[in-house]
Structure 1
Amino acid sequence: MKIFLGQTFIVAGLTMLSLLYPISLFDETHSTALLGLSITLNNLAVAIGSYVWGVLLDKSRERYLYALLLPLSGLLTSFIIFRTPFGLVGYSLVGFFSALDSPLYSVILLEQIAPEMLVVGNSRLSQLSLAGNITGSLLGALFPHFEVPFVLFGLGALVNSIAIPKYKGDIREDRVERIKEFKVMLKPLISFSMFNLSAEVFYVMFIPLLTIYRLPSWTYFFSYTVLYITDEYVYYKSPQMVRDNELYYTFIIIFLRSSIVLTLGLLVFASINLSFGIMPIFLAFGSSYPLYSTAFFSLMFKNLSKNRGAIIGLFNAGENLASAGGSILSAFVNPHSISQAYFISFFGFVISFFLFYDYITSVKVVSSS
């Protein structure tokens, strides 16, 4: 898995930038609206980039140059955020260029790993990515300086220049087939998007919730660090856990997250201060994603042969457009009445559950006929 080592450094830099800018903006302005706006712009940029990069990868046989473009763009965005007054622009560019990561490495995975090893390969790729998340969150808490992400992206560029094979991939664009696949995947795409919209509301509200509970800012970084470490372990175990049980884990995680946000909304509405007790709730919510992700994408991409970049990009775009929607909803929530946001999140998970159930039912009906 040496071809994925550079991603660890790149993700560390991206994680550091993505965590530092929102919390520094909120510390300076105490504005939920500005916080929501910044995250919304970032998510919109990721959504646009996800589809653009996916289509470009399907149209092109080039892989090596894209693997260098990703870390080099990190050097540019680091400079803009830390050394210019255009931090919001830099934060948006972080989103656009970071969107290249998922379709690029997914395509490399599909082209370089044997089919029978794809599930394990995807899990290992996720583990290395999470190692970058852990490193980036720790460095963001301890060394919030310009030089750190700059060094991380530089190392990512160096490792990719050595580890990524200089091969030419296959052109996998098929417009007719792509339209058919988009139609078939519409319901699961909406379900996946609603799942992420609801999750984004939870994550955005975590910052003002910490303020209401009067918890120190290190709680934010520490919570994400512990979450990333836990995710590392869950991703390691998820291939064995979800194999032949993809449907079960997809539905049970949606149910679990909906229960968490509903319970949390009721507790906040009742003005019950959980203090540091919010951390295990945050951990339980976040660490359920690796199981959902492994199960959901195993179902969606099991038989995907063409338009890989475009389909992966489409789901990433849907995810980030939904996250942008969650950020917008969060921006209109009064920081002292955030129980409303948790109830909105709950209904989003309910919609996600029944849309995916409807898709699975229709697929079974078609296959049986």
Structure 2
Amino acid sequence: MKKMLYVLCLICAVFASGCGGGGGSSASLPATTTTIAGTMTVPSVTASGIVSNITYPNDSALMASFSASAVCTVNGQQVAYSFATATQYFYIFELTPAEQYDVKFTYENLTLRSIVPHTSTALIKNVDLNTTAEALLFEKYQFTAAQIKYFEIDPTLKDGLANKMLTWLQTPALTNITFNSALSGELASFSLNVTREALGSDLTPARDLTGVWKGTNVVYYEFNLNGDRAIKNTADMTLTLTQSGSAITGVLDTTIKKYEVLTPELYYPPVGMSSTISGKVSSTNLTFTGRSFSGAFTFTSDLMMGTLTNTDLKYFFGFESDTNALKLMRQ
């Protein structure tokens, strides 16, 4: 009965989206539109000149205001977004293709930012102080979109700038003018004392990932029509990859060993997944897209660890895991 109820609701949803008055059409957007998803981490802020009226003792308190009231812009244009408070995941969808996306979330005088090169139609990039520092340095050194795609800023330099920003944000008497002045001075110091060559290094694939990678008892989730986690799957996962240069193609398969119903409404028993995937390798990072989901992994010679993210924000047919919960070994 539950499976039948799910199917009936899905049919109703499809009919509702496909019917419109006056001959209007609700056809889905072309596959060329882009989705950006990731985790947002908000710093603790005690500088009243940055966030007025309230002193936030921790990032979770400020996160509530960010999720409710922050303005999101992508390449200077305000866009809609959704935010899952429980996981701190944000979703920005239906973006027009571009070489890169300059994503900004702004609440009062606090802006968190990330520059996301276009490598697929389902992109994963977190937004926090570190990505904000990274974006500011790319901008200061006038990197092009093509250069950003294959360049990694030295983590020591990036983290150093982020830590200074955090120190300023946690100075109670700091004003917005003082913060911007200090930041401008720090970026000017970078350009005077750190050459572009010393800023970081070009990314190239570290090794060939071609082959079979397997994980045992990995945990991932499926959704109901409301976008809630409905099924917790424990499964064996196999990722079969072929690499050519930095390009990756392959198949992701799972065999479910057990599952737990988390939300009893509108769910159906899982049957495992089998999806073709395509993506790229850059340094020690693998990113790819599959059928209604995307993946972001880091790897060593024999171990791969990463995350799946649902990209179907209409019917939620994709999959999701906790951050870095998937561990696969080369066979």
Q: TM-score range by the shorter chain?
A: under 0.3
Query: RCO higher in 1 or 2 (8 Å CA, sep ≥ 6)?
Result: 1
User: Whose Rg is larger?
Assistant: 2
The structure with the greater share of residues assigned to strand is: 2
TM-score (norm 1): 0.25
TM-score (norm 2): 0.28
The structure with the greater share of residues assigned to helix is: 1
